[in-house]
Structure 1
Amino acid sequence: MVVQPYQHYVERRDGTKNMSRFYALSIEANLFGEACLIRRWGRIGANGRTMTHQFEREQDAVALFLELIRQKRRRGYRMLSDNKT
């Protein structure tokens, strides 16, 4: 059972490379009470792709959630408020 909701949305935009991508993460409970990490990514304005990871323990889902956020920050993804200059 998921104790608290986790959600994160970041974008990466680079006009010189014609790049406009999004990456969204959330942790939700499935019908059996297990924690599911749901990943969505793709080009902004498109449906994108989805991947779901199921975990017996919420701590494992949170660990992957935080690791994916770190990876995306290193690759230049930023939250919407960070994109404005």
Structure 2
Amino acid sequence: MDAAFLGSENLSVPKPEPEPLHLRRIDAAYNMRRFYALSTQPTLFGEMSLIRNWGRIGTSGKTMVQTFDDRAEAIEAFVGLERAKRRRGYAVMDEKTALV
């Protein structure tokens, strides 16, 4: 293919779906042990759902499902929520650093 041809076309590469995300916020001084989980899932009608689950560690917590017409909107909401939670002190904890 010609380089001029490739540059003239507006090719948008679709963003990959984010992996499910599990965040925790633990602060013993405030007796705080919280979790926040995010994931995306396609619906049967071609839409994209953003699934949020949050609560105290050890409970099932609450769940909210938001459905978006556009896949990019769902991913944008996912990234925005992740950013907001990380600013509030939530972090990914692996098995080695998890507190029991």
Q: Determine if the TM-score, normalized by the shorter chain, exceeds 0.5.
A: yes
Question: Is 1:44 the counterpart of 2:53 in the alignment?
Answer: no
In structure 1, the residue matched to 2:22 is 9
Unpaired runs of 5+ residues, structure 2, are: 1-15
**Alpha-carbon separation, structure 2, partners of 1:5 and 1:35:** 12
- Count how many residue pairs are aligned between Structure 1 and Structure 2: 82
Partner of 1:21: 34
Q: Is the 8 A contact 2:34 2:54 kept in 1?
A: yes
Higher Rg: 2
- Which residue pairs with 1:55 in the alignment? 68
How many angstroms apart in 2 are the aligned matches of 1:75 and 1:4?
24
Aligned CA distance change for structure 1 residues 48 and 16 (closer, same or farther; 3 Å): same
Where structure 1 has 5 or more consecutive residues not aligned to the other structure, the ranges are none
CA RMSD of aligned residues (A): 1.8
Closer/same/farther in 2, CA of residues 4 and 62 from structure 1, 3 Å limit? closer
> Alpha-carbon deviation of 1:51?
0.5
Deviation at 1:36, TM superposition (A): 0.2
In the TM superposition, residue 33 of structure 1 has moved relative to its aligned partner by 2.2
TM-score (structure 2 length as normaliser): 0.75
CA distance in 2, matches of 1:5, 1:79: 15
State the alpha-carbon separation in 1 of the partners of residues 71 and 85 from structure 2: 21
Give the structure with the higher percent strand. 1
SS in 2 for 1:62: helix
In the other structure, the counterpart of 2:79 is 66
Separation (CA, whole Å) in 2 of partners of 1:5 and 1:63: 10
